[in-house]
Structure 1
Amino acid sequence: MALRGRFAAARGAWLVFEDEAGFSMTPPQAKTWSQRGHTPVVRVRGRSRRGISIAALTCYKPGHRSRLIYRPRRDDGRRDGRKSFSWRDYRDLLIAAHQQLGGPIVLVWDNLNVHKAADLRQWAAARQWLTISYLPPYAPDLNPVEGISSLLRRGWLLDVAFSTPEHLDQRIRRGLRLIQYRNHLMDGCLAETGLTIAPA
């Protein structure tokens, strides 16, 4: 992957990783310490499977500040509503990233079916500014966006009983906004994968 980084740097491109994560209103179960016979209990008003999916991009380029670009998608609870991102959602996210980054993109993502959809591949093939590469199967440890999701779960979403979908949405957006302004967190997520981006 260091070679991929050199290729991106040589082209003046951003090396961009993508991943999706789902966040539910259902409180996570956790283990903790307490006095014997006094199990701590967190009471919530109701359980809901409704939640939010986030498609996020971590963007790296030698000599530039790391960037985080994301799009949320809320599950409205309707059976006929789409819960996952469509190929058009990914297209729109990549167009927005290209506009914000102002340069070519080398995109690295997993082998999700929608990532390989014929319409998306046809659209991508017609874009000279976009090069797509796929991670090996079952290799989430090579994707720094996994670290962003982990930061959210262990930080801004930890120990919170969400009362409404809006409450969950607000906490996720707040956490992502704060991560966007903390370069060292995004750089740390890349370092955690063991990958490096070498200068040209």
Structure 2
Amino acid sequence: MNHRLRESAYPSGETDGRRSRYRPPTRADDILGKRRAWVAEQDWLTLERLPAYAPELNPVELLWSSLKKRELANLAGDHLADVADATEQGIHRINANPRLPWSFLAHTGLTIGPPHPPNLRKDQ
């Protein structure tokens, strides 16, 4: 069974001034509380709240943009396999240049890797 957890803008008991948003605690609230507690214990983990839709923060969007401008531009294949083959060729082109995939990540302003060694806490 797939459970989706979503943080409410109005936690149990709070109101927005127009109507009551109170609801009794649910199992999802319990899971969310446990997740928050676990995250708080991890000194190496930083969570950032991101908007629901932010293509400018998704490096894959830049990959697709590159494919659509080159391999998929004006492609009118007779079969879906033609599109898949052109897409695969484009991915090979991008991987052939070791700097290109990293440029997609750099363009978003995001980074991979800890700002300090993972075995040291920030206060050490």
Q: TM-score, normalised by structure 2?
A: 0.48
Q: Which has the higher strand share?
A: 1
Question: Relative contact order, CA 8 A, sep 6+: which one is greater?
Answer: 1
The structure that has the greater radius of gyration is: 2
Q: TM-score, normalised by structure 1?
A: 0.32
Q: Which has the higher helix share?
A: 2
